[in-house]
Amino acid sequence: MKKYEELKQQLTQIRDNDYNLPNGANVDGIIADMLGFIGHTDAELRDKLIYKTFVQWAEVKGIISTDKMKQILDICLSDAHLFYSIGESGTDSVFTRSFSSLIISVAFCVHDENPFLTANDIQSIKETVLRYIALEKDFRGYVDGKGWAHAVAHIADALINIAGCSVDNKLCIGREGFLEILQAVKTLACNNQHIYSAEEDERLAITPFVGAVYLNILTAKELMDWIDSFNMSDNEWWKGTVPGDYYLHVNRKNFMRSLYFKLLPHSGYEEVCKHMLGFLAEEK
């Protein structure tokens, strides 16, 4: 039996036992194997077993200590994981990068309940994630026969965790750091290489929405200014380069729609929504 098949069998048994460890199990060894196969093209192993075991052991069962979680986080942020074959597109390397980014979110969920990251740690993670976003070139959602790649959606989840992370009840990244994150959201939303088809716009819209409505980092006016920077009024995509400008048009419009409907029920953002609606009404 191949190593990954052995791991799949082992994790299946652990799942069927409510994620409890069998007697005599080597936790560090299992974790090392899970990290080693985190980007496997077997979707059941990668998504249903490895990722969900990490979630259960870290967030629910407490099997992964905070010290161990920090080690796992460092590995997932490394060149061998988040930056594995960075710049490739259409290859299987995206699964390693994308599912490593999911574990970043798991680590932040653990931190929220049992703090183990310092303010400097969080700043460093933010810088690493922003560097990754600038380099990622594989924007696929679902890959036939191999399951979810979803690199953009997964790193969008990490961005909101970083933006809202606190130490001693104080948000760590500050206003300038949040503005950097917003720029990364804009970069991803304004993709002219690939039309998002797997609700990436929904995931990307969460960060500016939460930053304005719940974290109070942005005022409604500042959010409106940021929205204006998308140049939605420049909507004559058919005069540009096809398909690139058309892809940009569709992604930008879908992102604005997602953000609009997130903001719509919340008082204090009526003018922002009206402003966005004006852009959307002009889009062709």
Per-residue pLDDT tens over the stretch 59-116: 999 999 999 999 999 999 999 999 999 999 999 999 999 999 999 999 999 999 999 9
Q: Reply yes or no on whether the pLDDT at 23 is more than 90.
A: no
Residue 24 per-residue DSSP state? T
Q: Reply yes or no on whether the pLDDT at 231 is more than 90.
A: no
DSSP element (H, E) containing 74 = helix 66-76
What are the two backbone dihedrals, phi and then psi, of residue 83, each rounded to the nearest 5 degrees?
Answer: -110, 20
For the chain, the straight-line distance linking the first and the last C-alpha, in angstroms and rounded, comes to 56
Whole-angstrom distance, CA of residue 76 vs CA of residue 78: 5
Q: How many CA atoms lie within 13 A of 148 on its CB side?
A: 19
Per-residue pLDDT at 224: 93
Q: State mean pLDDT over 149-178.
A: 95
Q: Which of 76-90, 197-211, 216-230 has the lowest mean pLDDT?
A: 216-230
Name the pTM for this structure: 0.95
Please give the structure tokens belonging to residue 8.
């799949």
Strands (DSSP E) contained in the chain are: 142-143, 147-148, 166-167, 170-171
Closest among 221, 215, 222, 203 to 262, alpha carbons compared: 203
